[in-house]
Structure 1
């Protein structure tokens, strides 16, 4: 006859029968027999176990593009036992499965027994950060009919990078400075973050991106440097070649672009670097009192004789900015102020430490000693009334009466001719002829001598 087996209680860890198992007893002559020669019909009742499936989809967080070849590992979070006989299938911490995402960024792990697992990323694409997140997978049988429990995970990776933006300007005018060279080096060993722990840059190694060579970067016409695509880590940036006329910037800029374990994609550092021009203070002073002299015509040339600048001195110190550090210059006096001798050239070198270079040129006032002497003895004669005039204009410069010492006059104009005239000779002397002289271009004392002849003594007859 026809029979039917129905399951009234399902074993733990299994699914119930979808329908009863039916069988028919027919001619027993065709059956196997047991030891008592009784016919045997074997009927198998099969129960299935519920299984678990993990579907993981991996994409770029910023672009949403699928990421292939990202590696994952699934491990048992607890001991997982067989529902058939209770034997241990996976010990806690044991690796259950490994796999890579496909071209669509998908990874499927199926046929998993019920239990608790952990899924973690073990290797990601170069340039990406290995995800530290551990996904908890809990496969638990909730009824007697669900054959497969599917857990989906949509996860992302980030490819963070560092950027450095430099703005180079003149400290005083804020003018953009182009053609200034910087060098970028690694402050520490920099490793990849993709799980390979690959050494990208050694400490102190030059870091070159784009068209850079040996880590050198040059500011553009806007005074800017833009460095992008840097692996995350710590760097040092320093100026290695300044513009001519500017003080060298010896500061080393520490740039920390270290990964902060957030989802930030761009780590950026902006630097506003100001450079100052060299400053040279030039003083044109009186050699005696050190006070600034006006009206001197001065010029500055470099060591090759090229004219750098010309100016006329005033009561204030003259400042020149932008002379080249460490280079020699020659300060020349083209025309001294009236009454002063032309100074010798002054050679100087611009300070390289950024301090103000101070240059002083001293002018000696002209000095003339006028002596009124006896033509015979050469001794100074007192009491002569003398006048000094400008030969060209006839203008009286000074009048005085001679004494026991030469009469000094200061500040006469270089290269000008003067006339010394005796208005009244001392008693017993004849008036001397005018003496003409021209002032030499020197700070030394110049001497002018006017000689008086004594009147002859007339002895009359009858005198004792």
Structure 2
């Protein structure tokens, strides 16, 4: 082993002071060694990770040198579940101490063996290690879970008092091990000892008159804290596990009957009830709208599931504005038997028993305070009654009071019965030809008078609707203005069947654009416009009209919708062409009156200048001519003939042909042959 240090001094002459031989000799002692073997066995359900935190201290009794170790430095034999640490040490005396063996949530008993003797404790006596010797110290820890006191309370849900008769048990969630069941006692909390872990509190037998409670999941931590699992899955700390049983409920059936002059909607808006639990002071309020309504019996019913106990049932609102409450009755019975019938009370105490039904009936009668109010419907002048208006009156909550039609059954003034309050007169639909009037708000005071009015009458005035129907007329063709003015129109209101007739002479005339215009002030609505006469003698006519840019052939429009303040435009157009008549033209030899061919002829309309050219034939020619003055001229004569003089003739408006004011069937032009003297004699008088 390492020798001890040697201290020496060399003088000025180089000699070791006090050493005649001037020599330093250091001698090492012979080292004697052995082995110290530590083992650790752990009993109990603790994790390997927790076991590795166990620590040891090995001290040399001679040198006081100390070495420390954790179980994590030991080798581990999985088969035997044993940790081992082999130490090479000097052959001397030692002590071995387990300095830490605690694991949270467990109690521990530590023992060790040297040779075969097992000793309880954490620190050995002195252990002598001989030269080349070997000593084994075998430590063993026995862990048992640490028990904690857990209080279990079985309570009534309503009053939170301990109740008797419930059989309960606790089950370890992991091991499924059951704690011995027990029966709850009145006014007494039960205590059980539980190690850390997760548990379920289960109610196996329910006390009479109660519902089975849900299982309670809770856990005990390694430091003894108790936590209960909530519905959301999270745990909250507590000092007691409380399981509450809900008493089997009974029922309260509240019924409400209303007689008198109020309607269902009015009652449901103002009447409500308050139910108070006398023990818990819990209050619930119910509107009459929450009740079931029996139309045939005019009764509202509300069934309430309540825990057994005393209650106060109170009607919160009994009065209704504009009405007088003349009677209030309550009938109370239990189990179907009438208990009492009272008047002039607004609340009543009732008792609910388990699995029983308690009935309480409220009956109110309301008389309406009403006053006469008159409604007139007139035109804007206020003097002419207007029939056919659909009217209604609503109250300030929007409830319908009454609906009627003005003038129905020859009624001039409509009378209403109204209680004090705010109202609105509304015209839902105006009669034809009138605009819907603005609503009129009015108030009937407590004395039955309309505020702001000298008399108890509301007059609603309707303005007539206003629209324009514009008719225009354009004429194509050469007809005289005086003839055009004979054209006639008919305008029909489709709603009233009223017909108005006009001639073009009633229209204004734009000389520049050749357009006739008639602007009509009409009621808003549907109309048809018809051109009833467009014929002009000796002309054919085509009539079209334009609505919304679309030209339609015909003399009568479809229905034209004209909105209030709107315009409707109908543009008529007539295209006139003269009538044509068939006129026979013949070219004959003046000597034998035979038709000849080959003459080039022209027919000229002397009024228009229009010329028609024809060639003569042996059968004559047919020409279509309108009425007017014409001239027949021979341009080229047939061979062997002289050109004849022109013939003037007239086609009349009735299609007749006249020459020299005499009606003829044909226009005959005769040619004289060349080289022949033709003598004609005309005799006037009675000479035979």
Looking at secondary structure, tell me which structure has more strand per residue: 2
Instruction: Please state which band the TM-score falls in when normalised by the shorter chain.
Output: 0.3 to 0.5
Larger radius of gyration: 2
